[in-house]
Amino acid sequence: MKIKGNENPDYAVILSNLALMYLSKRDYNSAEPLYLEALKIWDTTIGENNTDYALTAKNLASLYKSKGDYAKAEVYYIAYTNVAVCRSR
């Protein structure tokens, strides 16, 4: 199966990397939608149980923590932890 365009996991990597750049500049409003889109792509193409998904969830959690939105941060830290625990077994 060949996946093209913005449903491609490689595109999600690009979005996540761009979001990380914005996060490092503390441009949270630019980073957030990119992280969310990357997670959506990975969820629909290769699932949540992969390293790229986990790291993006962790970065998004850090973003929300920096913004003081601890409820959203918790959701994504838990998602990251779930993948990390599953992969360590």
pLDDT at 76 over 80: yes
How far apart are the C-alpha atoms of 62 and 70, rounded to whole Å? Answer: 9
Q: In the chain, what are the domain boundaries?
A: 5-88
Section 7-20 average pLDDT: 94
Q: What is the pTM assigned to this prediction?
A: 0.88
Element (H, E) at 14: helix 9-24
pLDDT tens-digit readout, 29-53: 999 999 999 999 999 998 888 889 9
Are 8 and 34 in contact, with CB atoms under 8 Å apart? no
What's the whole-number mean pLDDT along residues 21-29? 97
Residue-level pLDDT at 1: 44
Out of 3.20.20.140, 1.10.287.610, 1.25.40.10, 2.60.120.620, the CATH code matching 5-88 is 1.25.40.10
